A and B are shown apart, each in its own frame.
Chain A
């Protein structure tokens, strides 16, 4: 009796919420549009609600923007794309600018969650590097402008590599058991099916955006064989493990290796954590600035996006976390030690070998999930 009452109650409440939620959204949209058209040509000001990753905007940049526009930036944070998508899908509103990674950007565009950008308000578009514009995720950059990027590469302890006589400049060092097992137990890879499968694809010479089940099986075999030489799947503490010297080689994000190297230097370690784009290529992930359809202040949002495309402002982000940036005008402001990082600012040859990941079709994602579990368990 009680359990049944509960179940009925759940069902009623849930259905009501769903039905009501959908109806409301449709009627609320036109009202917001009218509001958006109101602001005159005057310099935009007010509050900018930025939904961003943590530590992804330099304090001095914030101060400069707030001064220039007499505005205030309020940041809230997400820590992965799914988290942000879930929250928006459930109906959260009030964000002016959001910074999704390209494949999440694709989802937002498809769902009609974004406002088209007005290029006339973005004169600094001319600063952007053409090779990172006009991607398949947002052809013609109707909705988005690149914010910053990182690559998924091999990071390593230079002293230990020399000691073991290994060359970390190719994926063999991770996937060929004959090589990798020379430093058995000192390797970690990201705990992410996206990244590990893609790395295996690149090693095998397969396009990482493949949807062929056979390709997936081959990659899974490769990972299974190499796994015996690895210490762990680790996405959360490998920065620390590298900078303390426990782990000597890792598949991870270029910005994390930058951090690990800084930490190692601060702890006066006698080694460096370097990173390199493997000879076979690597995965590139680009984060983009977009304006949500519910943006309370689209004028200021455009102003912010344009502001972030100014060379100095874009460069400050690179200097803060060692991320790459898609801004040609920024390069003169980027610190030499950041610019020298080849996994972030590669030569044009290596740049051509970088691939961005598309979102997998649901069916494929399921199959990959199954293989991933299998790989991790065995």
Chain B
């Protein structure tokens, strides 16, 4: 596939990537800057990272965020895969609405609704309420990704397995699941990243006892963006990059989600 790409395509692509990544690079660079001001480069330091790791509140918030994202993404992946499977298998009209609605509903409405719901249930707001609400909004994303993968799957493979004597659950386990695994992993990663950086819904469903990283960062930014915030953002960025790389290794088809 050797096509000649005109220069302006390269140019505009470069401009778009620059726009996407330059702000992130600035954050990373300033996290190593030996000055409290995000203004001019003064000198190299890792002091902000040291300060970050001595900040107990920040560490607790980070631990909360990771815990929530881990539990929420695992649960949402299981439920979302099931939902995706149902979407693919059964042509019920109301099903897509039920699954996709939590994605389509404005986040702020979802946050307020969940908060009121938890208040009715008399559930103490905290880690549990945040995790439950993250699961709620992640299921839809996983389901959509899994369904897209199922749509591209060759049904005759499952039929062949059944013909050869596999039970429905065996056919799912040994044929369908391995085929859709890249979609499942992609969905769970999506759920993880959505959960770890969610602000609006978390804001409403977090209570007096627990805070997450985005909430913590937001309350700090209001005063001023400090290099400490840059440092924690850089670490989050690294974590995300790591996840994408790992996922690409496990499921090489992942980054080409259409095939």
- Report A's interface with B, CB cutoff 8 A: 1-2, 5-6, 9-10, 13-14, 17-18, 20-21, 24-25, 28, 49, 51, 53-55, 74-80, 83, 87, 90-96, 236-237, 239-240, 243-244, 259, 263, 266-267
Residues of B within 8 A of A (CB): 35-40, 42, 57, 93-94, 97, 101, 104-105, 112-113, 115-117, 119-120, 122, 124-125, 203-204, 206-211, 215-216, 218-225
- In the bound assembly, the distance between CA atoms of A91 and B118 in angstroms comes to 9
A186 to chain B, nearest CB (A): 16
Are B97 and A5 touching (Cβ within 8 A)? yes
> Beyond A17-B113, A92-B119, A267-B35: 9 further Cβ-contacts under 8 Å?
A5-B97, A20-B116, A24-B119, A54-B223, A87-B203, A239-B224, A244-B37, A259-B223, A267-B36
What chain A residues lie within 8 Å of B223 (beta carbons)? 54-55, 239, 259
Indicate if the CB atoms of B206 and A76 lie closer than 8 Å: yes
Contact flag A2-B97 (CB < 8 Å), given A21-B116, A24-B122: yes
Which of A20, A77, A96, A239 is close to B219, meaning CB atoms less than 8 Å apart? A77
CB distance from B227 to the nearest CB of A (A): 12
In angstroms, how far is the closest chain A Cβ from the Cβ of B129?
Answer: 10
Query: Which B residue sits closest to A94, measured CB to CB?
Result: B208
26 residue pairs from A and B, CB less than 8 Å apart = A5-B97, A9-B97, A14-B113, A17-B113, A18-B116, A21-B120, A51-B208, A54-B223, A55-B223, A76-B206, A76-B209, A76-B211, A90-B112, A90-B116, A91-B119, A92-B119, A94-B125, A94-B209, A237-B225, A240-B39, A240-B225, A243-B37, A244-B39, A244-B40, A267-B36, A267-B37
- Please tell me which one of the listed residues B112, B208, B220 contacts residue A76 in the complex, with CB atoms under 8 A apart: B208
Q: How many A-B residue pairs have CB under 8 A?
A: 112
List of A residues within 8 angstroms of B57 by Cβ:
75
B residues in contact with A266, CB < 8 Å: 35-36
A14-B112 Cα distance, complex, nearest whole Å: 10
Residues of A within 8 A of B125 (CB): 92-94
On chain B, the residues within 8 Å of A243 by CB distance are 37
Determine the distance from Cα of A10 to Cα of B97 in the docked complex, in whole angstroms: 12
Q: A51 — which chain B residues lie within 8 A by C-beta?
A: 208
Q: Which residues of A contact B207 (CB under 8 A)?
A: 76, 92-94
Query: A93 to chain B: which residues have CB within 8 Å?
Result: 119, 125, 207-208
Q: Of A87, A236, A237, which one neighbours B204 at CB under 8 angstroms?
A: A87
What 7 pairs across the A-B complex have the smallest Cβ distances?
Answer: A77-B219, A91-B119, A49-B208, A79-B222, A94-B208, A54-B219, A17-B116
Collect the chain A residues with CB atoms within 8 Å of residue B105's CB: 10
Q: Out of B39, B113, B216, which one reaches A13, CB within 8 Å?
A: B113
A contact residues around B112 at 8 Å (CB) = 90
Q: How far is the CB of A165 from chain B (nearest CB, A)?
A: 27
B68–chain A nearest beta-carbon distance, Å = 15
Within the assembled complex, what's the spacing in Å between the Cα atoms of A91 and B123? 11
Asked if B208 and A74 make an inter-chain contact with CB atoms under 8 angstroms apart, the answer reads yes
- CB pair B113–A5 under 8 Å, yes or no, is no
Contacts of A94 in B (CB 8 A): 124-125, 207-209
Contact B115 A6 (CB under 8 A): no
Q: In the complex, A95 Cα to B206 Cα: how many Å?
A: 12
- Nearest CB of chain A from residue B93's CB, rounded to whole Å: 8
Least distance between B200 CB and chain A CB atoms (Å): 12
Residue of A nearest to B126 (CB): A94
The smallest C-beta distance from B52 to any residue of chain A, in angstroms, reads 15
C-alpha spacing A80/B208, complex, angstroms: 16
Determine if B122 and A28 form an interchain contact, defined as CB atoms under 8 angstroms apart. Answer: yes
Cα distance, A193 to B204, chains bound together (Å): 26
B122 and A259 contact, CB distance less than 8 A? no
Instruction: Decide yes or no: A263 and B37 within 8 Å by CB, A9-B101, A17-B117, A18-B116 being known contacts.
Output: yes
Interfacial chain A residues near B216, Cβ < 8 Å? 77
Nearest A residue to B220, CB-CB: A54
